[in-house]
Amino acid sequence: MDTLNVQGGYPLTGELKIQGSKNTVLPVMAAAVLYKGVTMLTNVPMIQDVYCMIHILEAVGVKIVFSDHCLVMDASSVENGEIPMEDVKRMRSSIMLLGALLGRTGEAVTSYPGGCSIGLRPINLHLKGLTEMGAEISEDGTKIRACASRLKGAYIRLDFPSVGATENILLAAVAAEGVTVIENAAREPEIIELCLFLQKMGVPVRGAGTGRIKIEG
Provide the residue count of the chain. 217
Q: Kind of pairing, strands 179-183 and 155-157?
A: parallel
116 is catalytic: yes
181 bridge partner residues: 155, 214
CB hemisphere CA count around 179 (13 angstroms): 9
DSSP labels, 48-67: HHHHHHHHHHHHTT-EEEEE
Q: Give me the torsion for CA of 38, 41, 45, 51, rounded to 10°.
A: -10
- CB burial of residue 122 (10 Å; 0-12, 13-18, 19+): exposed
Q: Residue 64 and residue 164: Cα distance in Å, rounded?
A: 24
Which of the following is catalytic: 52, 70, 116, 147? 116
Phi, psi angles (nearest 5°) of residue 22: -65, -45
Q: Output DSSP code: residue 28.
A: H
Annotated catalytic residues are 116
